């Protein structure tokens, strides 16, 4: 008997279910080719109802639910959909390092490699009752978190409504925002990659660049000069503080600010901004009330999934609402700019082709015929280019 035949027979004799690992990234749709020989690895907190239904319809061998460490459960429909199926669900068996297509066996919450039957990860089985209990608990926690967050946001509004509505209390700084594009780079780790995607946009529009906390370091690393830095001086490098950007130091409403000693030691000037807001929110308000035409901000997007989490400041809810008419997230800006750039590139290619054709026509026909052709062709080309930007 062939070795492959022995392995197949051995796999079927062992307890549990056997299949190939199929990772579904957070927010992604289910792969088209999904079936009973697959073991799906996903995060139910970031899985849509549509994707969950597709997984159930495919009758996969098992589902491994792995949430990132420290992540709070969300009351997603995916929990109830899996609970209503007969598909085995294993929780917290970390298969992040196991490549797609790897054949594994899942038994009583433990995942084994088919080759050598080595244990790859250990979790726990979650039955229908477990999944329903988890989603019920998540619903309660989510609502409580939302109520607490909104209460804190309302308190912030009551304290800082003049700042939000009229810009009362904004420090006077030497940065011209009027009718300018502004890019606010935060210290979130995702900002580094987003800033790289924004570079073509920055090259063309020359926006006002604002570094918030560690975002100022990202700008410097990207060889971009910040026009404004809003940060605790003790948390950024000497190079950032002495690069020539206007410095704004966040302060409590009573005027107390951290890190001013550092400013004094370096001999640079700075302005304090007393407010019950985060540095990021201060930067947005400075740009908005300064007359910015558009404000692009990097960092985690503020969707409903994370709107009320511990990482979301109550002040940001009110500040984002205040500046909403001019606020664009970095990912959206980069996507729109890429689409626009592709259209311009195509237009230039077409124009070059027209010039080449004109040379041929000029060599063959009379000048009058060329003029008529050129006018008609140019009009058609102009209308087509206009259509790219509608």
**Beta strand 246-251 pairing with 271-274:** parallel
How far does CA 246 lie from the centroid of its chain?
28
pLDDT of residue 365: 52
Q: State the pLDDT at residue 9.
A: 40
Phi/psi at 254 (5° precision): -85, 0
- Position 15 scores a pLDDT of 80
| pLDDT < 50: residue spans in the chain | 1-12, 341-343, 346, 388-390
Q: Name the residue with tokens 């989490």.
A: 309
The pLDDT assigned to 8 comes to 45
What pLDDT is stored for residue 389 in this prediction?
Answer: 46
Contact (CB, 8 A) for 198 and 183: yes
pLDDT of residue 263: 92
The pLDDT assigned to 6 comes to: 37
Sheet holding 208-212, edge to edge: 271-274, 246-251, 228-230, 208-212, 181-185, 294-297, 327-329
- pLDDT (0 to 100) of residue 2: 40
What DSSP string describes 168-232?
TTPPP-S---TT-EEEEE-S-THHHHHHHHHHHHHHHH-PEEEEETTHHHHHHHTT---SEEES-
Q: Are strands 208-212 and 228-230 parallel, antiparallel or unpaired?
A: parallel
**Model confidence pLDDT, tens digit, residues 4-20:** 443 444 444 678 899 99
What residues have CB less than 8 Å from 387, skipping those under 6 apart? none
**Structure tokens that stand for 233 in this block:** 């001086």
DSSP 31: P
Distance CA 380, CA 386 (A): 10
């Amino acid at each position: 008997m062939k070795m492959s035949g022995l392995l197949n027979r051995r796999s079927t004799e062992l307890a549990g279910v056997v299949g190939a690992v199929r990772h579904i990234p957070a927010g992604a749709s289910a792969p088209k080719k999904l079936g009973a020989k697959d073991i799906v690895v996903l995060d139910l907190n970031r899985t849509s109802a549509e994707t969950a239904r597709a997984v159930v319809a495919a009758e996969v061998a098992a589902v491994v639910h792995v949430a990132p460490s420290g992540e709070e459960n969300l009351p997603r429909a995916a929990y109830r959909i899996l609970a209503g199926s007969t598909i085995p669900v294993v929780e917290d068996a970390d298969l992040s390092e196991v490549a797609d297509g790897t054949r594994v066996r899942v038994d009583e919450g433990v995942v084994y490699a088919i080759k050598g039957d080595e244990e790859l990860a250990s979790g726990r089985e979650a039955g229908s009752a477990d999944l329903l209990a988890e989603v019920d608990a998540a619903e309660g926690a989510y609502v409580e978190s939302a109520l607490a967050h909104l209460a804190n946001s309302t308190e912030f509004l009551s304290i800082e409504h003049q700042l939000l509505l009229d810009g009362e209390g904004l420090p006077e700084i030497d940065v011209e925002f009027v009718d300018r594009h502004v890019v606010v780079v935060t210290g979130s780790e995702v900002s580094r990659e987003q800033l790289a995607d924004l570079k073509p946009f920055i090259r063309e529009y020359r926006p006002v660049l604002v570094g918030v906390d560690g975002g100022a370091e990202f700008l410097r690393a990207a060889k971009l000069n910040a026009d404004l830095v809003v940060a605790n001086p003790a948390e950024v490098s000497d190079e950032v503080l002495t690069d020539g950007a206007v410095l704004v130091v966040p302060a409590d409403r009573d005027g107390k600010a951290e890190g001013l000693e550092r400013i004094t030691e370096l001999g640079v000037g700075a302005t304090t901004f007393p407010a019950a807001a985060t540095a990021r929110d201060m930067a947005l308000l400075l740009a908005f009330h300064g007359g910015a035409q558009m404000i692009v901000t990097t960092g985690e997007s503020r969707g409903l999934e994370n709107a009320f989490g511990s990482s979301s400041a109550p002040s940001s809810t009110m500040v984002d609402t205040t500046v909403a008419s001019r606020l664009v997230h970095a990912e959206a800006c980069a996507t729109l700019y890429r689409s626009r750039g592709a259209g311009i590139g195509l237009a230039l290619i077409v124009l070059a082709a027209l010039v080449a054709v004109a040379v041929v026509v000029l060599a063959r026909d009379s000048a009058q015929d060329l003029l008529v052709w050129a006018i008609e062709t140019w009009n058609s080309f102009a209308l087509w280019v206009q259509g790219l930007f509608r």
